[in-house]
Structure 1
């Protein structure tokens, strides 16, 4: 177990450094969107392109991995929506709770961490999970989040939200970098030397900046939630507001954390083992990769999506923070169990 901790510790340490930098305002909150832009539009696409181009095409088009991952992701979304909707949580909050339970922090954290643990052969299954979550899981949850409207208005809102999600995918460079990497792998093309070196430099920057940014985003969410609560208290004292919104109860947070870190990876492992027993051509090494992907903490960008669509961002941010902190202990246990 100690060798696993020695590999994972620097990754979580960089997250903690980003959190501390933003929490103490050494890193201005206004700078965080710039870090996000660099990671999402430059460094991370180059890293995915680099891994995709260097991965055999058979691994990038592994239908067994896509099938197991897809079934489990959709099951998690359906289960969380079904069991968390109540008088406090409508479709909007339930849908983003489901997204934060099913969408691991694969891009920012999973790719560099799992490649460091398992080697470059882990890149193929990881890329498949990223593509599915970007195209299917996120679009489905955004569409479900619009069902709070009654009758045809709700259905129209869901359709509109799905279209917006698809447009977001089209302008997101990550799916395109994955597609280009698949094309380069299939055609066995080599990029020109200067272009390849430029991509390599950006790709090498992806891991530390992305991890630092995760911590900064989590700190920003906590600080904004606290400032919003303080502003609401002042407004209530002056008679100009209704007081601060109540903090999400533990019962609305803890079950989703357990689904993300425990039930999701167990579901992927159980379904994968069953599929192998039935003769599905799923390599045990590929199954181990996607189980560990499922064991990652929740994706930090779900908090920004929840804020954009008017969901309870405080609840989503707490889930992301809790899964990130808990994963420091649970993720090495998952690695040890699989070994």
Structure 2
């Protein structure tokens, strides 16, 4: 376990470096906004496209893993929603809290860290978890918030969701990469090297950006943040482990990768959604801050547990 902790420290140290740079004012929010755009639209996109273009879709697409992940995640989503509604929160706020409870930072933190720590074979399962989060739960929260405000679900909401997915560079990169792989088109050497160089900026850039983004977030409703962090860091990986290993009997290595992905802290894009729709952004930022700080220990423990699988 100490060995795993020492391997994860550099990743969290980069987050800490970004946090310090942002907190000191050396790296202002405007600079971090541009760094995040670079990582999101260029570096991470290049990494995901290269990974998926060099994979066999038939070998990666594991519907049992997807079903097991959903079977574990949907009940937790409903549990967090129920707890929020029992606290008499509006539907939109309950949906945002549920999003905090099950959506981890798979894109910016999970892809680079888990591939490096668990091996390149982790690429497929990690991207399946990422795609499921984006396609299912990101679409769901938009539908719930929009529907609750309009009083009903209209066809226009589906158009909004569809356009949002098509504009998400991570979804586009994975989709195009798998299309290239399915067509049997080899990625030319110079193009592949270009993608390697650009994608190499994703890991340090994303981790630094995570830290810098945390530096301007203030704490609010710490009790709720601890509850949501507990769901995300403890209950979610436990539920995924039970579903994959005991119920669906997913292949052990792939299951281990998915469990590790489920243990990641609350994703930054949940805050972007909360900010965009003006639904409890401060509460979400606190959950991200608390879960990221605690994940130094919890993620280390989970990776140490799944690595021998």
Give the shorter-chain TM-score range.
Answer: over 0.9
Pairing 1:248–2:221 present: yes
Pairing 1:317–2:253 present: no
**2:68 touches 2:248 (CA, 8 Å); kept in 1?**
no
* Structure label with greater radius of gyration: 1
Equivalent residue, structure 2, for 1:170 = 166
The counterpart of 1:331, out of the listed 293, 299, 302, is 299
| C-alpha displacement of 1:299 | 0.6
**1:264 touches 1:294 (CA, 8 Å); kept in 2?**
yes
**1:18 touches 1:215 (CA, 8 Å); kept in 2?**
yes
Equivalent residue, structure 1, for 2:230 = 258
**2:22 touches 2:215 (CA, 8 Å); kept in 1?**
yes
What pairs with 1:1-339 in structure 2 (closer than 5 Å)? Answer: 1-87=1-87, 89-149=89-149, 153-156=150-153, 160-222=156-218, 247-248=220-221, 250=223, 252-277=224-249, 282-338=250-306, 339=308
5+ residue gaps, structure 2: none
- Provide the aligned C-alpha RMSD in A: 1.8
Higher RCO, 1 vs 2 (CA within 8 Å, ≥6 residues apart): 2
Change (3 A) 1:89 1:249: farther
| C-alpha displacement of 1:36 | 1.3
Structure 2 distance, partners of 1:3, 1:249, is 32
Change (3 A) 1:75 1:159: farther
Structure 2 distance, partners of 1:284, 1:192, is 34
Structure 1 distance, partners of 2:85, 2:13, is 35
| C-alpha displacement of 1:76 | 2.1
| C-alpha displacement of 1:307 | 0.7
Residue by residue, what CA displacement relative to the aligned partner does 1:219-258 show, whole Å, maximum 9, x if unpaired?
1333xx8xxxxxxxxxxxxxxxxxxxxx4251x2222111
**2:40 touches 2:169 (CA, 8 Å); kept in 1?**
yes
**1:261 touches 1:330 (CA, 8 Å); kept in 2?**
yes
Structure 1 distance, partners of 2:23, 2:86, is 33
Structure 2 distance, partners of 1:97, 1:160, is 25
User: Aligned to 1:188, what secondary structure does the other structure show?
Assistant: coil
The alignment of Structure 1 onto Structure 2 pairs a total of residues equal to 307
Change (3 A) 1:160 1:259: farther
User: Aligned to 1:221, what secondary structure does the other structure show?
Assistant: coil
Residue by residue, what CA displacement relative to the aligned partner does 1:240-277 show, whole Å, maximum 9, x if unpaired?
xxxxxxx4251x22221111001100011001122345
Structure 1 distance, partners of 2:73, 2:198, is 30
Change (3 A) 1:88 1:29: farther
Structure 2 distance, partners of 1:191, 1:57, is 15
